[in-house]
Amino acid sequence: MSVKAKKHLGQHFLTDETIAEKIADTLSFKGYKHVLEIGPGMGVLTKYLLKKNSTTHVIEIDTESVAYLKNNYLNLADRVIEQDFLKYDLTTVFKDEPFAIIGNFPYNISTQIVFKTLEMRDQIPEFSGMFQKEVAQRICSKEGSKVYGILSVLTQAFYEADYLFTVPPTVFNPPPKVDSGVLILKRKENFKLPCNEKLFFKVVKQAFQQRRKTLRNSLKTFNLSDNLKANTIFDKRPEQLSVTAFIELTQLIETDETD
Ligand SMILES: C[S@@+](CC[C@H](N)C(=O)[O-])C[C@H]1O[C@@H](n2cnc3c(N)ncnc32)[C@H](O)[C@@H]1O
3-state secondary structure 133-164: HHHHHHHHCCCCCCCCCHHHHHHHHHEEEEEE
Burial class (CB in 10 A: 0-12, 13-18, 19+), 213: middle
> Which residue in 79, 82, 205, 195 sits closest to 153, CA to CA?
205
The answer to whether 175 touches 167, Cβ cutoff 8 Å, is: no
Q: Which domain holds residue 219?
A: 197-258
pLDDT at 133: 98
Q: What is the DSSP letter of 214?
A: -
Prediction pTM value = 0.96
Residue 215 annotated as binding site: no
Say how many Å lie between the first and final Cα of the chain, rounded. 66
243 — pLDDT class (breaks 50, 70, 90): very high
Omega cis (within 30) before 174 = yes
Q: Would the pLDDT of 257 be above 80?
A: no
Q: Is the CB of 37 under 6 A from ligand 1?
A: no
* Rounded Cα gap, residues 233 and 42, in angstroms: 50
**Cα of 114 from ligand 1 centre, angstroms:** 15
Number of domains the chain contains: 2
Task: Look at residue 192 and tell me if it is in a domain.
Answer: no
Is residue 53 located within the same domain as residue 171? yes
Q: Of ligand 1's atoms, which has the minimum distance to the CA of residue 12?
A: 1
What Cα–Cα distance (Å) separates residue 20 from each residue in 69, 140, 235? 16, 21, 46
* Residue that finishes a domain, picked among 127, 153, 187: 187
Q: Of ligand 1's atoms, which has the minimum distance to the CA of residue 11?
A: 2
Is residue 141 located within the same domain as residue 201? no
Is residue 204 located within the same domain as residue 169? no
Is residue 86 located within the same domain as residue 62? yes
pLDDT tens for each residue of 79-105: 999 999 999 999 999 999 999 999 999
The answer to whether 157 touches 243, Cβ cutoff 8 Å, is: yes
pLDDT tens for each residue of 148-174: 999 999 999 999 999 999 999 999 999
Q: Would the pLDDT of 255 be above 60?
A: yes
* Rounded Cα gap, residues 194 and 175, in angstroms: 44
Question: Pairing state of beta strands 159-167 and 172-173?
Answer: unpaired
pLDDT tens for each residue of 3-14: 999 999 999 999
pLDDT at 1: 78
pLDDT at 113: 98
Residue 60 annotated as binding site: yes
What CATH number is attached to the domain comprising 38?
A: 3.40.50.150
pLDDT at 212: 93
Q: What is the DSSP letter of 85?
A: T
Q: Would the pLDDT of 128 be above 60?
A: yes
Q: Is the CB of 44 under 6 A from ligand 1?
A: yes
Residue 78 annotated as binding site: no
Backbone angles phi, psi at 148, to 5 degrees: -65, 130
**Cα of 73 from ligand 1 centre, angstroms:** 17
Q: Of ligand 1's atoms, which has the minimum distance to the CA of residue 15?
A: 9
Task: Look at residue 56 and tell me if it is in a domain.
Answer: yes
Take atom 19 of ligand 1 and give the residue whose Cα is closest.
84
Is residue 121 located within the same domain as residue 209? no
pLDDT at 215: 97
Is residue 117 located within the same domain as residue 240? no
Q: Is the CB of 215 under 6 A from ligand 1?
A: no
Over residues 140-144, the mean pLDDT reads 97
* Residue that finishes a domain, picked among 142, 160, 187: 187
Q: Would the pLDDT of 230 be above 80?
A: yes
Q: Is the CB of 101 under 6 A from ligand 1?
A: no
Instruction: Using a pLDDT cut of 90, give the percent of the chain over it.
Output: 98
Q: Quickly count: other Cβ atoms within 10 Å of residue 93's Cβ.
A: 16
* Rounded Cα gap, residues 79 and 184, in angstroms: 24
**Cα of 43 from ligand 1 centre, angstroms:** 10
Q: Give 234's contacts (C-beta < 8 A, 6+ positions apart).
A: 214, 215, 216, 219, 228
Over residues 108-128, the mean pLDDT reads 98
Residue 39 annotated as binding site: yes
Task: Look at residue 31 and tell me if it is in a domain.
Answer: yes
Is residue 7 located within the same domain as residue 125? yes
* Residue that finishes a domain, picked among 169, 187, 205: 187
Provide the ipTM.
0.99
